[in-house]
Amino acid sequence: MDVIAAIATPAQPGAIGILRLSGQGCATVAGRVCRMKNGAPLSEAPNRKVCLASLLDRQGRIIDEILAVYSRAPGTYTGEDTVELHCHGSPAVLAAGLDALFAAGARQAGPGEFTKRAFLNGRMDLTQAEAVVDLIDAESADAAANAAGQVGGALLRKIDPLYDMMMDICSHFHAVLDYPDEEIPDFRLSAFRESLQGASNTLWTLHGSFARGQFLRRGVKAVILGRPNAGKSSLLNALAGYERVIVTEIPGTTRDTVEETVRLGCVTLRLMDTAGIRETEDRIEAMGVARSIAGAKEAELSLFVCDGAQPLTQEDQAAIRAAMEAPCAIGLINKSDLGTTISPKDLPFDTVLTICAKDGSGLDALKTEVEARFGTEGRVDGSILTNVRQAAAVERAARAVDGAIGSMQAGMTPDAVLLDVEAAMEALGEITGRTVREDITNRIFERFCVGK
């Protein structure tokens, strides 16, 4: 393959910036713009040793003092020879260095091309490659831990044994069929019933983790609802940890939706504060109320907030109806510092908590409740499915295995049963890359950033 090069660090000033190259001859290409302090060619540098060098631009001028690392195949990220040039993090220096590398014979790497080469060269399977994106995008320690587990092969270790077991079944059957004169043990389909049932259980358990995996990867879409001056914006500020929204005693201060990403325990909330729900002749506020109601229909969690020091009003009832549109709804009786006239039994929610957004009391109970509903269960080790493509393939594989078990119980012939087993193998192979088509592979790596 030809030599590819890219800037592997963010395009903004920083302490360090990295130029990355991969491909046979990359040390020769990099050596044309990298002058080693010891006078030796970069291609003769010790394997994986940091060397002091000067970086030259296209005109041969020194533009930075850098560290160069030459790593030889196959023990590299891509499985090819690689070079990394560690520069000072000036975008201008990195751009000039990259331009010089292009003039020296490298070409611009495409999105995810380094990781794609790692996959094509057998350095990682497709589950590991896709987890690299999740690791880069992780917004919480749990999300990072799950992605890191998958980069380390957690999903592969679950799926490969199932694929191999099914391959053994199919190969045994075809061996008996194709070589009747050989001394091959008889094929008895019933002997594999327990193994197929175990595979079905494993696949459905894995698929069942996907819902929580989505919350882990992208967070929970949450909305705060209530009538004006119930304390919605104060709650958002309390959860965000700073004055994100203007809070006043004037009803209708928030006239549009305000979004903020907050951490509540181990759960990331994509939290939206909304305009207070009420009848209004103010056109702009009315538009905000409409957005509030629409936001509740799209949310996965709604937090209904009411002023506990005042009786429930028709506006509260309208907000309650909007909150109940979400799959999960929690009632919050706010302003507990002023005393409460509302009882939890007055609200139609499974969970009702008494809080004071002003001083933060009761928010620990809210954190516990949200973690119980959306948090990960047990150790986060890469066994939680977060990828939509993988989840669809796991579901297809599980249904195919169940189809094989059903055909077996119906007394159908082995060849009919094994059609479903082979379909399950194909679906599992799409997850790991053993049977994946080229167009799917290309689409997967288009999600990556350039330089990775």
What string of DSSP letters covers 371-428?
A: HHHHSPPS--SS-S---HHHHHHHHHHHHHHHHHHHHHHTT--HHHHHHHHHHHHHHH
Q: Do residues 213 and 317 lie in contact, with contact meaning Cβ atoms separated by under 8 Å?
A: no
Does residue 255 or residue 50 have the better pLDDT?
50
- The predicted pLDDT at position 2 comes to 94
- The predicted pLDDT at position 383 comes to 84
Q: Do residues 236 and 259 lie in contact, with contact meaning Cβ atoms separated by under 8 Å?
A: no
Residue 304, both tokens: 């209904």
In this predicted structure, the answer to whether residue 184 has a pLDDT above a threshold of 60 is no
Does residue 380 or residue 349 have the better pLDDT?
349
- Of 73, 90, 118, 125, the closest CA to residue 19 belongs to 90
In this predicted structure, the answer to whether residue 233 has a pLDDT above a threshold of 90 is no
pLDDT-derived band at 215 (thresholds 50, 70, 90) equals confident
In this predicted structure, the answer to whether residue 282 has a pLDDT above a threshold of 70 is no
In this predicted structure, the answer to whether residue 59 has a pLDDT above a threshold of 60 is yes
In this predicted structure, the answer to whether residue 186 has a pLDDT above a threshold of 80 is no
- For residue 386, the number of C-alpha atoms closer than 13 Å in the C-beta half-sphere is 33
Q: Do residues 444 and 130 lie in contact, with contact meaning Cβ atoms separated by under 8 Å?
A: yes
Which residues make Cβ contacts (< 8 Å) with residue 257, sequence separation at least 6? 272, 273, 274, 275, 288, 291, 292, 295
Mean pLDDT confidence for 398-403: 96
pLDDT-derived band at 331 (thresholds 50, 70, 90) equals very high
Q: CA–CA distance from 303 to each of 281, 323, 343 (Å)?
A: 26, 7, 17
Arithmetic mean of pLDDT over the chain? 86
- The predicted pLDDT at position 159 comes to 93
In this predicted structure, the answer to whether residue 114 has a pLDDT above a threshold of 90 is yes
User: Rounded to 10 degrees, what is the CA torsion of 375, 378, 382, 385?
Assistant: -50
Q: Do residues 323 and 344 lie in contact, with contact meaning Cβ atoms separated by under 8 Å?
A: no
pTM for the model stands at: 0.78
Q: What are the strands of the beta sheet with 50-56, ordered from one edge?
A: 34-36, 50-56, 62-71, 82-89, 14-22, 4-7, 107-108
Mean pLDDT confidence for 192-198: 90
Instruction: Supply angle C-alpha 318, 322, 326, rounded to 5.
Output: 160
Does residue 392 or residue 179 have the better pLDDT?
392
Q: Do residues 42 and 30 lie in contact, with contact meaning Cβ atoms separated by under 8 Å?
A: yes
Total H helices, total E strands in the chain? 15, 13
Which residues make Cβ contacts (< 8 Å) with residue 189, sequence separation at least 6? 408, 414, 417
Residues of the chain above pLDDT 70, percent: 87
Residues of the chain above pLDDT 90, percent: 48
In this predicted structure, the answer to whether residue 373 has a pLDDT above a threshold of 60 is yes
Does residue 255 or residue 290 have the better pLDDT?
290
Mean pLDDT confidence for 47-66: 96
- The predicted pLDDT at position 248 comes to 42
- The predicted pLDDT at position 292 comes to 63
In this predicted structure, the answer to whether residue 300 has a pLDDT above a threshold of 60 is yes
In this predicted structure, the answer to whether residue 190 has a pLDDT above a threshold of 80 is no
- The residues facing 270 across adjacent strands are 221, 261
Mean pLDDT confidence for 166-186: 67
- The predicted pLDDT at position 25 comes to 96
- The residues facing 333 across adjacent strands are 306, 354
In this predicted structure, the answer to whether residue 250 has a pLDDT above a threshold of 50 is no
Residue 201, both tokens: 């259980």
Does residue 291 or residue 344 have the better pLDDT?
344
Mean pLDDT confidence for 300-306: 92
Best-predicted range by mean pLDDT among 66-70, 386-390, 412-416?
A: 66-70
